[in-house]
Structure 1
Amino acid sequence: MKNKFFFAASLSIFLSLHFNAQENIITPLESKKIYVKGNALLIPIGVVNAGLEYQLSTKFTMQGDVLISPWKSFAGHEAQIYMGTIEGRYYFKEAFKGWHVGGNFSFGTYVVQKPNYWNDSQYVDAQVGASTPYINSQLYQKGFSFLIGVEGGYQFRLADNWNMDIFAGVGTSQDFYKGYVRGTGERYDSADGYNRSGEIIPYRGGVMISYRLK
């Protein structure tokens, strides 16, 4: 009786592993696809978001991309961002087709003016609870961030070798920065070293136009 139970259990485990392996079998190297892609939504504002998406198996891909916003001043605000992202994706149908979900990790450096500084109110140093001689609109932040998040989207064929990938993502951003006064470069805050903040934000999204390299 024990032998029959062991055999049945072993057969069940084997069949389960076999069918799972068949579903997500590693694609032979010579047949794996690679797409180069660029974010069409960001080009009109002079921001580059481009990368490569590489097929790992029948339903899994790995994407690496960079985002470059070179603006020392955009509409009167500092907006320099340099970010790299690694993202793993799972496609419900097959790689590069249909709905997908994924997880990603990003690292970026920046010189920006945060949106809550886009006004002429007097800056109050929250760390000491005192007013300062500065107004918000003359202040900016410089630092770096680590971001971890999830994404979802839909990719479909446009023409031979051409795809469109519509996606959006959200995650946690852990930021380390110092605050400076525009023009003088002096610190406006009283922090010893870096300020630190963490928040949940939408930080990925757009419409990628993809071209198959192989």
Structure 2
Amino acid sequence: MMKHIYIFAMAMMLIASSGTAKAQDVALKTNLLGWATTSLNAGVEIGTAEKQTVQLFATINPWEFPGDKKVRFWNVEPEYRWWTCQRFGGSFFGLHALAGEYNIKNVDLPFGTLPKTKRGRHYEGWYIGAGVTYGYQWLLSRHWNLEASLGVGYAYSPYKLYGRCARCLDKNHRNYVGPTKAALSMIYIF
């Protein structure tokens, strides 16, 4: 998992340092909803045209919780955005992709993401998918914005279900259709 954090950090530094940054060209952001679920997250969004931006967002949750529960995962989500008025302000529509890995134990996920399990069993797997996004950014000050966004789409996820003593009980996959992202983000714009 540390390898993924290192790769993400290097990619963010490379993106943030590439080219010349002019006002309203680069934004750093974090999803407050992610922090509410103990998920570390950060993203960078770069203006590419008057009404277009691209962003790369990453999330990681390496923790285990009391009661033998865990929702360990990492997620990477690139996105293209088209703004209705100007970039970094008002409404936008986006196309996003998502990919990651997970290890989930004694937690039932919403929207039927994975089948429910008996206590002591856990899922390990990966996923890849894509979707569409709608969002809105409010200008709070010269450098600070608040963003709300919601995405729906499709994800393919092969997984293994493990029982006690790390015994594999089942190998299967899910074809998930539903919410693929939800964000309430604080943004700092350079």
Same structural fold, with TM-score higher than 0.5 when normalized by the shorter chain: yes
Change (3 A) 1:74 1:175: farther
**What is the SS of the residue equivalent to 1:68?**
strand
Q: CA deviation at 1:71?
A: 2.4
Q: CA deviation at 1:203?
A: 2.2
**Which residue of structure 1 aligns with residue 108 of structure 2?**
115
- The correspondence for 1:188, drawn from 149, 152, 169, is 169
Per-residue deviation, residues 172-214 of structure 1 (Å, max 9, x unmatched): 01001111114x111122x4xxx2210102121121100013x
Change (3 A) 1:30 1:44: closer
Q: CA deviation at 1:29?
A: 5.8
Per-residue deviation, residues 70-106 of structure 1 (Å, max 9, x unmatched): 2233664320110101100000001111000100111
**Which residue of structure 1 aligns with residue 49 of structure 2?**
57
**Which residue of structure 2 aligns with residue 151 of structure 1?**
133
- The correspondence for 2:96, drawn from 84, 104, 119, is 104
TM-score of the pair, normalised by structure 2: 0.79
Aligned-partner Cα distance in 1 for 2:166–2:40? 28
Q: CA deviation at 1:30?
A: 5.4
Runs of 4+ residues deviating >2 angstroms = 28-32, 71-78
Aligned-partner Cα distance in 1 for 2:174–2:88? 36
**Which residue of structure 2 aligns with residue 209 of structure 1?**
186
Per-residue deviation, residues 130-183 of structure 1 (Å, max 9, x unmatched): xxxxx712211101000111110100211121111110111101001111114x
**Which residue of structure 1 aligns with residue 25 of structure 2?**
33
Pair 1:73 & 2:69 matched: no
Code of the aligned partner of 2:86: E
**What is the SS of the residue equivalent to 2:119?**
helix
**Which residue of structure 1 aligns with residue 150 of structure 2?**
168
Query: Identity of counterpart residues, as a percentage?
Result: 24
Aligned-partner Cα distance in 2 for 1:74–1:84? 27
Per-residue deviation, residues 107-129 of structure 1 (Å, max 9, x unmatched): 1011014627xxxxxx9xxxxxx
**What is the SS of the residue equivalent to 1:188?**
strand
**What is the SS of the residue equivalent to 2:36?**
helix
Unaligned runs of 5+ in 1: 1-27, 117-122, 124-134
Q: CA deviation at 1:45?
A: 3.0
> In terms of Rg, which structure is larger?
1
**What is the SS of the residue equivalent to 2:167?**
coil
**What is the SS of the residue equivalent to 2:100?**
strand
Change (3 A) 1:98 1:46: same
Unaligned runs of 5+ in 2: 1-18, 110-115
